Amino acid sequence: MDILLGALVSLGIGGLVGLEREWRRKLTGIRTFMIISLLGFLSFSAASVSTLIVPVALSAIVIMSLRQGEKLETSTYIASLVIFILGGLVAIDMAAYAAGVSLIMMALLALRDTLHHFAYSFSEKEILDIVKMGALVLVIMPLLPNKSIDPWGLINPFEIWLMLIAILGLSFIGYMLVKFLGSRAGLVLTALLGGFASSTALTFEMTAIDKKQKSNLTGIAAFLGSSTMFLKVPLLLAVFSPQLALSVAPNMLIIFVLGVLISRWLLKKEKGTRNIKIKNPLDFTTAIKFVVFFMVASVLVYVGRIFYGTTGAYLASFVGGFTDIEPIALAAVNSMMTGPVSLSTAKTMVMLGAFANSLTKAGLMVVRGKKFTKRLGLLLVGLSLLLFFPI
């Protein structure tokens, strides 16, 4: 890179972060950050002359910062060191990378209050759950063998753990969005996100209080949250088998869209909003249950197929779907990847599991809800029949 152009780029990188610091009226502002970035560029450019130039220049920044004492915030001090390095990266033809990092750093500094609020809003249990999630991904997962440990090739510990992490991750995203958006999101978005975290849990919670409510909002929320399953399943399958996800997506997305439109129409007749609370899905007792249920479902599908052919696999998927859809959907992926189950058979297994799971939630709405919610439960069953409509 031409040295004049590189100097201008480094000045721009320093100016981005310096602008934010200047806006917050910090001791070190836009001019100083531009100079620090330019110093990094020039010192890295001159490193071929002497290897001492870079450490001497960096030491000068450190000494300057130390002389400010308690007046200089830690974040500003660290930012100045990062900007020095980013200016140096421009000198070694990594200008695009340096510019991208500077934008990220500017955003982190600008979102100080938002990030602090985000951190303070976690409960102790949620912090511990996030630590456990990190342990699942970074500690346990690398230790698991990425090969089948049973004679039939059904149980691959690494793949099962990856499925578990995918489900927990998707559910936790939905949970956190509900937590931070809250009532500001409105009933539609909140019910969608709550259903994405756990549609069964949402339906159970809404039907538990439905008869105590004068409005029909809880019934609509249960119906809308149940419809969200038809979006979550294709997204989950896409992580492990895009081919199977594309196969089931048309029917499921049609049901999801219809569910949203019907809910939206019904909401126009209702007044008020309700903030839906959903249980934290990072419940590791539930996670262990998923692993056990997934292995049982995989074995049942395998045994059913061996003794009763395709009909046995379908029956196992349908029965298992009454409890939960995710293990059944991933058991279908597992059966297809190990070879004996075709794409069309795996698709039918997922559809049957999803239909059975809809029956579970519709049953909750019919048994526990008031008259309006009972009708929505029957409507959910009717929409679920579109799973088997040829598209």
Q: Which of residues 88, 115, 142 is at a domain's end?
A: 115
Chain position carrying tokens 């089931």: 248
127 and 27 in a single domain? The answer is no
Instruction: State CA 137 to chain mean position distance.
Output: 14
Let me know: does 211 contact 369? Beta carbons within 8 Å.
yes
**Of 246, 224, 194, 225, nearest in space to 350 by CA:** 246
229 and 316 in a single domain? The answer is yes
357 and 271 in a single domain? The answer is yes
> Would you state the pLDDT for residue 64?
76
Range of the domain at 107: 3-115
Q: Which of residues 115, 131, 163 is at a domain's end?
A: 115
Q: How many domains does the chain have?
A: 2
318 and 365 in a single domain? The answer is yes
Residue 160 banded pLDDT, cuts 50, 70, 90: confident
Taking CA atoms, 227 is separated from 165, 269, 283, in Å, by 23, 20, 23
**Of 49, 53, 37, 34, nearest in space to 90 by CA:** 37
Q: Which of residues 70, 85, 115 is at a domain's end?
A: 115
Residues 6+ apart with CB under 8 A from 288: none
* CA dist., res. 91 & res. 312, Å (int): 65
32 and 133 in a single domain? The answer is no
340 and 276 in a single domain? The answer is yes
Residue 249 banded pLDDT, cuts 50, 70, 90: very high
Flag whether pLDDT at 253 surpasses 80: yes
132 and 111 in a single domain? The answer is no
Flag whether pLDDT at 256 surpasses 90: yes
Length of the chain (residues): 391
The type of residue at 315 is L
Let me know: does 338 contact 147? Beta carbons within 8 Å.
no
222 and 344 in a single domain? The answer is yes
- Lowest-confidence region among 34-48, 242-256, 282-296, 352-366: 282-296
209 and 262 in a single domain? The answer is yes
159 and 34 in a single domain? The answer is no
Chain position carrying tokens 């839906």: 276
* CA dist., res. 331 & res. 200, Å (int): 19
Let me know: does 30 contact 22? Beta carbons within 8 Å.
yes
Flag whether pLDDT at 46 surpasses 60: yes
131 and 97 in a single domain? The answer is no
* CA dist., res. 294 & res. 286, Å (int): 12
* Predicted confidence (pLDDT) per residue in 62-108, tens digit: 887 777 665 667 788 788 888 899 998 989 888 888 888 888 888 88
pTM above 0.75, yes or no: no
62 and 133 in a single domain? The answer is no
Question: Mean pLDDT over residues 316-325, rounded?
Answer: 81
